[in-house]
């Protein structure tokens, strides 16, 4: 729940993870929240709700994370989770092209249905399965370093979605873009920090520092959609008072 | 009639609840069979033996006298039992046409224990003595419509019951024969007998030694020993009970159940590997043979397929491996579906197949563990409930109405782990599943009252059910006046939360849409789940979420709040925060943690000095059960499985349709046990093989007294309603 007791200016940000089943949404969250990783994690049922603080120079962002199940049958419940979200992490598996297709669907749905100001990050997970040695402890990437876009050509490289392809798409749609490995932690914190930085300052409670990148008009529209109790609600109200 | 007389002489009395001079056919069947099972259940014999006079005042004692009066019922049953042995395969069905495949082998493995093979002569030549054994063996397998199966007449129709026979009935009256290799034993097949039959008929042997009756026990000995490969989990070798051996072993009273490993125990030889993953067939198929061997070595299989033959779920083996078998089983089941006589189950070798058909879904359980049909059927039912819980009935129906060849794996994606953990729970042996009851955390009545009130006070408008659960045991429940909770629903939830790691390992708080079929199978409820770590006293809501492997499920305290409104997450979350804060404040949380940490009491804690090693007590009114800790005697997976198999046998015997057995005493080579049912409770207990009958009975009585005294602590009586 919204907290007003933290010493630093602190605000809650609701974040929702979406993406095909088994792309690693829960693992990303687990890495971010507990700095832990489990092999063969069992599928999420329904949705899990976790919180984690993210310290920025000027303020503390408290992420309230909805980690949703990726299975098709849960799709109809997704609006419940992204409805008031200020940010979304759309995850695909960079060894599985269909998961990027699914990710694009989610992006489209978010842009259509979610709060207009929502910050969306597109994340290609399972970087550890590719040959790139960008991550620490990359198990497969010792022999060669290849161009990400052509990684597919290499032996032992499971990459099926090129960085360029996903990046181009992300730029077109105005999304943040990262390739991560929940297994060895590559880029995971960076994703969340980038989201925290991209959240419109004005929509945050106690927002003081510079860095607001979005117009307050967006925020207001966003407000109009808020209709549930919850941290977002209270945070937004206080934001109005500023 | 002679049989009955002899039955009485040896004190093998069954008490039938409904004494009637003209029992209906089904009763007769059942009783006939039951009396056969009574051979090894030396039931209230200690009363008649006179060497346990110290038991005279015991509650069980009164009960034990009753059978004397009702013995005539048994007589009636026995007279007619002859005609009807063939009808007990399915629980509800009396299949008219049966094919007996390998019945020679099956009977051969059985009959010797009973009548030294004399029973092959058929009913007319039935030897008058020895009495009890002949009860079992002499009933010919006369079908209800004998005219339809003339061929059988030429066979030795000595089948004890359909249980012992590999049967397949075809709707058109024809019979198919699947040859059972002569070397195979049906021992397990008998174990896995029809729901109405007693699975443990192999225990026949002991009565002689255990009863001080006049029948010449030792004359059976050779034939009993002939069944070397019959033995399995609970088999008894006569050698261990020979007078000399007995004298010898009486020196060592404290042998625990299942302590000795017998060669014949190889039925469970691979049990340690039962839950290992079957390897995938590699791309070249080079290891196919080996994989197949691994697959076949599994003692238990569950298959779920659609009526169109699409595989939906299999506990072991990947799709490539099982597809062929799915096709075969689908063909067999569909063949019977076309007639009006659906296939309920069949036996092949030592393996029992049980089939359950639920709408467009076929469920198959394949077991070498000796469970009864009705027990296997209940397990299949639970798997079906799990599927409903994921999809709801209307969705399931709609899927198959629109497209009969729907591939259900897609909509069920992600729930394989739930089905598997459910299946593994059954394979390991679950008292909760066996008794269809729940277990509660033992705390004082006033403490539970406080927790209930805390929940009630914090209750929000949208709440339907509120539960506090610790390690799969209920601590507290609040519910609306008009709704009760179904144990089957709760066991699905507990399976999801405590057995399958999905929710626990996910971390944080969870919001889970779930259909509770017992409550309403047409729609979803929404369940808020939050775990609290029992050990460090810190909420593990965000940080420090231990991995599944790291913490045993018994350590976890969960708050479950169930609502019909899918938007009520934050409301329930608030309630949870209030409840937890309040429970911490009033000390209840510490009490729960303490009780969880303490675990279940051991049997000896409950009844000091008892010979009992383990027991199950089910309160029928509360649909709850109580048991002591599995340790120290049954901590290993294998020992626990043996114990559970014994319980399964006792349960099957006392719950066989129309059996009305109230007290059952079972003596085995590696354990003695007692089952005792009354309208109030069901009770099962086990002691070491050398424990005395008196000690067993005394222990049982003391446990029951203890439970009576502690009733409001070990059970939730009524629960809190709003």
Cβ proximity of B525 and B562 under 8 Å:
yes
pLDDT band at B408 (very low <50, low <70, confident <90, very high): very high
Q: Which residues of B touch A38 (CB under 8 A)?
A: 505, 547-548
B523 part of contact set with chain A, CB < 8 Å? no
A1/B574 touch (CB, cutoff 8 Å), yes or no: yes
8 Å CB contact of A33 and B542: yes
B510·A45 Cβ contact <8 A: yes
Residues B102, B334: Cα–Cα separation, whole Å:
24
- C-alpha span between B165 and B101 (Å, rounded): 7
Say if the Cβ atoms of A45 and B503 lie within 8 Å.
yes
Mean pLDDT, chain B, integer:
70
Of A39-43, A190-194, B214-218, the least confident: B214-218
Q: What is the pLDDT of residues B175-204, one digit of tens each?
A: 444 434 433 333 333 333 333 334 443 333
pLDDT confidence tier of residue A172, bands split at 50, 70 and 90:
very high
Residue B501: band (very low, low, confident or very high) from pLDDT cuts 50, 70, 90 = confident
Closest-approach residue (CA) in chain A for B513:
A46
State the pLDDT at residue B296. Answer: 86
CA distance B228 to B265: 10
A20 touches chain B (CB under 8 A): no
Q: Note the pLDDT of residue A204.
A: 65
Instruction: Give the residue-averaged pLDDT of B281-309.
Output: 84
Q: What is the mean pLDDT of residues B239-255?
A: 54
Query: For residue A33, what are its two tokens?
Result: 């929240």
Q: Nearest 10 degrees: CA dihedral of B140, B145, B149, B150?
A: 80
Indicate if the pLDDT at residue A29 is higher than 50. yes
Nearest to A44 among B502, B566, B567 (CB): B502
- At residue B283 the predicted structure's pLDDT band, cuts being 50, 70 and 90, is low
What pLDDT is recorded for position B320? Answer: 81
**Nearest residue on chain B to A48, judged by CA atoms?**
B510
User: Do the chains contact at A230 and B567, CB–CB below 8 Å?
Assistant: no
pLDDT at B341 over 80: yes
Q: List, for residues B257-270, the tens digit of each pLDDT value.
A: 776 655 555 566 67
| Interchain contact, A1 vs B577, CB within 8 Å | yes
CA-CA distance, A220 to A239, in Å (whole number)? Answer: 10
Residues of B in contact with A230 (CB under 8 A): 570
Report whether B23 contacts B34 (CB < 8 A).
Answer: no
Which helix (H) or strand (E) segment holds residue B511: the answer is: strand B509-514
- Is B510–A74 a contact, with Cβ atoms under 8 angstroms apart? no
> What's the CA gap between B385 and B518, in Å, rounded?
9
Determine the Cα angle at B431 with ends B667 and B559, to 5°. 160
CA distance B418 to B435: 21
Contacts of B691 by beta carbon, 8 Å cutoff, 6+ apart:
B253, B611, B612, B672
**For residue B162, what pLDDT band results from cuts at 50, 70 and 90?**
very low
**Angle in degrees, CA B122, B128, B133, rounded to 5:** 75
Looking at the DSSP bridge assignments, the partners of residue B346 are B353
Q: Does A77 touch chain B (CB under 8 A)?
A: yes
Distances (CA, A) of A68 to A42, A61, B304, B510: 13, 21, 27, 10
Q: State residue B583's pLDDT score.
A: 93
- pLDDT digits over B217-237, tens only? 333 333 433 333 333 333 344
Q: Which residue has the higher pLDDT, B193 or B428?
A: B428
A29 close contact with B: CB closer than 8 A:
yes
> Is residue A123 over pLDDT 50?
yes
**What's chain A look like in SS3?**
CCCCCCCCCEEEEEEEEEECCCCCHHHHHHHHHHCCCCCCCCCCCCEEEEEEEEECCCCEEEEEEEEECCCHHHHHHHHHHHCCCCEEEEEEECCCHHHHHHHHHHHHHHHHHCCCCCEEEEEEECHHHCCCCCCCCCCCCCCCCCCHHHHHHCCCCCCCCCHHHHHHHHHHHCCEEEECCCCCCCCHHHHHHHHHHHCCHHHCCCCCCCCCCCCHHHHHHHHHHCCCCCHHHHHHHHHHHC
Q: How close, in Å, is residue B280 to chain A by CA atoms?
A: 16
The string of DSSP codes covering B259-304 is: -SPPGGGGGGTTGGGTTSPPPPPPTT-TTHHHHHHHHHH-SEEEEE
Inspect the interface and report whether the beta carbons of A43 and B502 lie closer than 8 Å. Answer: yes
Half-sphere exposure of B412 (CA within 13 A, CB side): 27
Question: A169-173, A183-187, B506-510, B662-666 — which is least confidently predicted?
Answer: B506-510
Which of A31-40, A162-171, B551-560 has the highest average model confidence (pLDDT)? A162-171
Cross-chain CB nearest to B417 (options A43, A47, A48): A43
Whether residue B567 and residue A228 make contact (CB cut-off 8 A), yes or no, is yes
Mean per-residue pLDDT for B444-466?
A: 94
Identify the pLDDT of residue A9. 81
Which chain B residues are within 8 Å of A40, Cβ to Cβ? none
Cα gap A177→A167, rounded to integer Å: 6
What span, in angstroms and rounded, lies between the C-alpha atoms of A91 and A157? 20
Residues 6+ apart with CB under 8 A from B430: B644
pLDDT classification of B588: cutoffs 50, 70, 90: very high
From the CA atom positions of chain B, what is the Rg in Å? 26
Q: Are B422 and B499 in contact (CB under 8 A)?
A: yes
In this complex, is the C-beta atom of A74 within 8 Å of any C-beta atom belonging to chain B?
yes
CA–CA min distance A75, chain B (Å): 11
pLDDT in tens, B388-404: 999 999 999 999 999 98
Cα gap B468→B588, rounded to integer Å: 11
Note whether B506 contacts A48, CB cutoff 8 Å. Answer: yes
Of A3, A31, A33, A42, which to mutate for an interface test with B (greatest number of B Cβ within 10 Å)? A42
Query: Distance from A19 to chain B by nearest Cα, in Å?
Result: 14
Cis peptide preceding B130, ω within 30 of 0: yes
Nearest CA distance, A15 vs chain B (angstrom): 14
Give counts: helices (H), strands (E), chain B.
24, 19
Predicted confidence (pLDDT) per residue in B666-676, tens digit:
998 888 999 99
Q: Do B542 and A21 touch (CB under 8 A)?
A: no
Of B501, B509, B571, the CB nearest to A49: B509
Tokens for B552, please give them: 């045993």
Backbone angles phi, psi at B615, to 5 degrees: -155, 165
Mark yes or no for CB contact A50/B500 under 8 Å: no
pLDDT for residue B253? 55
Q: Residue B91's pLDDT is what?
A: 38
Start-to-end CA distance of chain A, whole Å, equals 20
- Structural contact between residues A136 and A129, judged by C-beta atoms closer than 8 angstroms: no
Distance CA B657, CA B196 (A): 5
- Could you write out the three-class secondary structure of B573-630? HHHHHHHHHHHHHCCHHHHHHHHHHHCCCCHHHHCCCCCEEEEEEEECCCCEEECCCC
**Closest chain B CA to residue A39:** B547
Helix axes B59-81, B693-714, angle to 10 degrees: 110
Select from B414, B548, B569 the Cβ nearest to the Cβ of A21.
B414
- What DSSP designation does B169 have? B
User: Cβ A43–B414 below 8 Å, yes or no?
Assistant: yes
* Interchain contact, A21 vs B413, CB within 8 Å: yes
Residue B337 is predicted with a pLDDT of 85
pTM, full prediction: 0.70
Q: For residue A49, list chain B residues with Cβ-Cβ distance below 8 A.
A: 508-511, 569, 573
Whole-number Å distance between alpha carbons of B171 and B366:
23
Which residue, among A19, A46, A75, A227, would best test binding to B if mutated, counting the most B CBs under 10 Å from its CB? Answer: A46
Please, which pLDDT band fits residue B99 given cuts at 50, 70 and 90?
very low
Cβ contact, residue pair B507, A1, below 8 Å: no
- Say if residue B509's pLDDT is above 80: yes
B511 - beta bridge partners? A47, B528
**How many CB atoms within 10 Å of residue B472?**
22
Look at A62-76, B102-116, B308-322, B515-529 and tell me which has the smallest mean pLDDT: B102-116
User: Which chain A positions have a beta carbon within 8 Å of B542's beta carbon?
Assistant: 33, 50-52
Beta partners for B468? B476, B559
Residues in contact with B223: Cβ distance below 8 Å, sequence separation at least 6, in sequence order: B112, B113, B116, B117
**Do B511 and A45 make contact, defined as CB atoms within 8 angstroms?**
no
CB contact, 8 Å: A240 with chain B?
Answer: no
Of A31-35, B94-98, B315-319, B587-591, the poorest mean pLDDT is in: B94-98
ipTM for the complex shown = 0.77
Distances (CA, A) of B242 to B6, B52, B211, B367: 23, 21, 13, 33
* Nearest beta carbon to residue B566 from set A21, A80, A230: A80
The closest of B137, B133, B17, B142 to B74, measured between CA atoms, is B17
3-class DSSP state for residue B95? coil
Closest CA relative to residue B107, chosen from B99, B119, B95: B119
Beta strands in B150-207 (DSSP E): 166-168
- The CA-atom distances, in angstroms, between B124 and each of B75, B119, B127, B138, B158 are 18, 10, 9, 9, 12
Contact criterion met (CB < 8 Å) for B506 and A26: yes
Write out pLDDT tens, residues B128-143.
Answer: 555 444 344 444 444 4
User: What is the percentage of chain B residues whose pLDDT exceeds 90?
Assistant: 38
Mean per-residue pLDDT over chain A, rounded: 78
Task: Say yes or no to pLDDT of B345 above 70.
Answer: yes
Share of chain A above pLDDT 70, in %: 70
DSSP letters along B5-38, please? Answer: HHHHHTT-----SS--SS--HHHHHHHHHHHHHT
Residues in B closer than 8 angstroms to A80, CB to CB, are: 566-567
Mean pLDDT computed over B635-644: 90
Mean pLDDT within A84-109 = 95
Bridge partners of residue B604, in order along the sequence: none
Are B547 and A67 a contacting pair at CB < 8 A? no
- CA B508 to CA A81: how far, in whole Å? 15
Span between the terminal Cα atoms of chain B, in Å:
59
Which of A198-207, B378-387, B599-608 comes out lowest in average pLDDT?
A: A198-207
pLDDT of B84 > 50? The answer is no
Q: Are B262 and B669 in contact (CB under 8 A)?
A: yes
Q: Which residues of B touch A43 (CB under 8 A)?
A: 413-415, 417, 502
Confidence (pLDDT) at B127: 55
Contacts of B625 (CB under 8 A, 6+ apart): B431, B432, B435, B437, B438, B439, B616, B617, B618, B619
pLDDT for the residue numbered A125: 95
Contact B413 A230 (CB under 8 A): no
- Whether residue B569 lies within 8 A of chain A, CB to CB, comes out as yes
- pLDDT given at position A39: 86
Nearest to B414 among A48, A69, A80 (CB): A69
Answer whether residue B658 shows pLDDT above 60: yes
Across residues A11-35, what is the average pLDDT?
93
Which residues in chain B are closer than 8 Å to A72, comparing Cβ atoms? 410-411, 413
Contact A189, A63 (CB under 8 A): no
- Judged by a CB distance cut-off of 8 A, whether residue A30 touches chain B is yes
Helix (H) or strand (E) holding B417: helix B416-428
Asked if B544 reaches chain A (Cβ–Cβ under 8 Å), the answer is: yes
Quickly state the pLDDT bin for B15 (edges 50, 70, 90). very low
Are B508 and A50 an interchain contact pair (Cβ–Cβ within 8 Å)?
A: yes
Closest CB to B413 among A49, A67, A71 = A71
Taking CB atoms and an 8 Å cutoff, what residues of chain A touch B415?
Answer: 43, 45
B411 touches chain A (CB under 8 A): yes
């Amino acid at each position: 729940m919204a907290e007003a007791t933290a010493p630093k200016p602190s605000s809650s940000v609701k974040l929702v993870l979406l993406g095909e089943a088994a792309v690693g949404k829960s693992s990303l969250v687990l890495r971010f929240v507990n700095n832990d990783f489990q092999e063969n994690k069992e599928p999420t049922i329904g949705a899990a709700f976790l919180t984690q603080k993210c310290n920025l120079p000027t303020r503390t962002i408290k992420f309230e994370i909805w980690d949703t199940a990726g299975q098709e049958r849960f799709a109809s419940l997704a609006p419940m989770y992204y409805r008031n979200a200020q940010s979304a992490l759309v995850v695909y598996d960079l060894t599985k092209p269909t998961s990027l297709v699914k990710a694009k669907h989610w992006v489209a749905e978010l842009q259509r249905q979610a709060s207009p100001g929502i910050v969306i990050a597109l994340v290609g997970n399972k970087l550890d399965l590719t040959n790139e040695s960008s991550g620490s402890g990359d198990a497969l990437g010792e022999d060669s370093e290849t161009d990400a876009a052509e990684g597919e050509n290499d032996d032992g490289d499971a990459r099926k979605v090129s960085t360029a392809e996903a990046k181009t798409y992300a730029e077109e749609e105005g999304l943040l873009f990262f390739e991560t490995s929940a297994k060895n932690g590559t880029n995971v914190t960076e994703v969340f920090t980038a989201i925290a930085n991209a959240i419109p300052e004005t929509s945050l409670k106690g927002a003081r520092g510079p860095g607001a990148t979005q117009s307050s008009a967006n925020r207001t529209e966003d407000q109009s959609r808020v209709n549930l109790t919850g941290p977002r609600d209270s945070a937004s109200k206080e934001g109005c008072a500023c | 009639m002679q049989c009955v007389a002899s039955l009485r002489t040896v004190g093998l009395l069954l008490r039938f609840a409904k004494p009637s001079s003209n029992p209906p056919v089904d009763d007769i069947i059942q009783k006939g069979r039951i009396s056969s099972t009574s051979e090894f259940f030396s039931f209230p014999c200690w009363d008649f033996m006179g060497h346990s006079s110290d038991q005279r005042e015991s509650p069980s004692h009164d009960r034990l006298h009753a059978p004397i009066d009702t013995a005539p019922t048994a007589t009636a049953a026995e007279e007619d039992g002859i005609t009807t042995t063939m009808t007990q395969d399915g629980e509800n069905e009396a299949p008219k046409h049966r094919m007996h495949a390998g019945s020679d082998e099956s009977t051969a493995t059985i009959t010797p224990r009973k009548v030294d093979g004399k029973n092959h002569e058929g009913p007319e030549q039935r030897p008058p003595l020895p009495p009890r054994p002949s009860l079992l063996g002499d009933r010919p397998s006369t079908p209800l419509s004998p005219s339809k199966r003339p061929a059988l007449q030429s066979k030795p129709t000595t089948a004890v019951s359909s249980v012992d026979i590999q049967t397949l009935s075809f709707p058109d009256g024809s019979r198919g024969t699947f040859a059972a290799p002569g070397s195979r034993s049906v021992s397990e097949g008998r174990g896995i007998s029809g729901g109405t039959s007693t699975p443990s008929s192999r225990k026949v042997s002991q009565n002689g030694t255990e009863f001080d009756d006049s029948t010449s026990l030792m004359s059976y000995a050779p034939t009993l020993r002939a069944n070397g490969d019959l033995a399995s989990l609970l088999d008894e070798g006569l050698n261990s009970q020979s007078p000399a051996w007995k004298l010898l072993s009486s020196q060592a009273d404290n042998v625990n159940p299942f302590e000795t490993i017998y060669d014949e125990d190889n039925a469970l030889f691979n049990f340690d590997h039962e839950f290992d993953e079957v390897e995938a067939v590699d791309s070249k198929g080079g290891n196919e043979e080996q994989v197949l061997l691994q697959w076949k070595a599994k003692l238990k299989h569950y298959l779920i397929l659609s009526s169109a033959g699409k595989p939906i779920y299999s506990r072991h083996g990947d799709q490539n491996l099982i597809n062929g078998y799915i096709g075969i089983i689908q063909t067999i089941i569909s063949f019977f579906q076309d007639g009006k006589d659906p296939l309920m189950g069949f036996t092949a070798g030592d393996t029992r197949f049980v089939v359950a058909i639920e709408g467009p879904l076929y469920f198959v359980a394949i077991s070498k563990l000796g469970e009864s049909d009705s027990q296997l059927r209940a397990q299949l039912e639970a798997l079906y409930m799990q599927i409903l819980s994921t999809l709801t009935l209307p969705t399931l129906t709609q899927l198959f109405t629109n497209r009969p060849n729907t591939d259900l794996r897609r909509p069920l994606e992600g729930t394989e782990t739930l089905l598997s953990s459910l299946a593994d729970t059954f394979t390991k042996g679950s008292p909760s599943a066996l008794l269809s009851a729940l277990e509660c955390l033992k705390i004082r009545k006033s403490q539970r009252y406080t927790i209930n009130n805390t929940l009630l006070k914090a209750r929000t408008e949208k709440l339907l059910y509120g539960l506090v659960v610790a390690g799969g045991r209920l601590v507290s429940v609040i519910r609306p006046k008009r709704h009760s909770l179904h144990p089957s629903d709760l066991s699905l939830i507990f399976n999801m939360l405590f057995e399958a790691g999905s929710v626990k390992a996910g971390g944080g708080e969870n919001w889970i849409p779930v259909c509770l079929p017992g409550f309403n199978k047409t729609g979803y409820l929404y369940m808020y789940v939050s775990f609290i770590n029992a050990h460090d006293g810190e909420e593990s809501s965000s940080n420090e979420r231990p991995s599944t492997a790291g913490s045993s499920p018994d350590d976890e305290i969960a708050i479950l709040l169930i609502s019909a409104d899918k938007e009520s997450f934050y409301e329930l979350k608030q309630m949870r925060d209030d409840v937890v804060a309040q429970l911490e404040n009033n000390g209840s949380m510490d009490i729960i943690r303490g009780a969880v940490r303490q675990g279940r009491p051991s049997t000896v804690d409950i009844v000091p000095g008892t010979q009992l090693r383990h027991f199950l007590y089910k309160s029928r009114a509360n649909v709850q059960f109580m048991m002591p800790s599995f340790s120290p005697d049954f901590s290993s997976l294998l020992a626990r499985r043996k114990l559970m198999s014994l319980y399964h046998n006792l349960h099957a015997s006392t719950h066989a349709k129309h059996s009305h057995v109230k007290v059952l005493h079972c003596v085995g080579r590696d354990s003695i046990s007692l089952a005792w049912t009354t309208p109030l409770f069901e009770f099962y207990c086990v002691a070491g093989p050398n424990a005395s009958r008196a000690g067993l009975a005394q222990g049982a009585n003391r446990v029951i007294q203890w439970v009576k005294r502690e009733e409001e602590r070990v059970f939730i009586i009524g629960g809190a309603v709003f």
